[in-house]
Amino acid sequence: MSLLGLALTAMPMTSALASGTIGGGNSAQNSARMGQSVYARKIACRSCMFPGGLTTMDSVKSAMMKIENGEIALSASERAAVTSYINRRFKGM
Per the confidence metrics, is the pTM higher than 0.85? no
Q: What are phi and psi of 61, to 5 degrees?
A: -65, -40
Give the integer Cα–Cα distance in Å for 31 and 81. 5
User: What are the DSSP calls for 15-26, one per residue?
Assistant: ----SS-SSS--
Give the integer Cα–Cα distance in Å for 44 and 56. 13
Q: What is the pLDDT of residues 11-47, one digit of tens each?
A: 454 444 444 444 556 777 888 899 999 999 999 999 9
Domain assignment of residue 33, given as a range: 27-93
Q: What is the pLDDT of residue 27?
A: 76
Number of structural domains the chain divides into:
1
Mean pLDDT of the chain: 81
Please check whether residue 76 lies inside any domain of the structure.
yes
Give the integer Cα–Cα distance in Å for 32 and 39. 10
Please check whether residue 9 lies inside any domain of the structure.
no
Give the integer Cα–Cα distance in Å for 34 and 28. 10
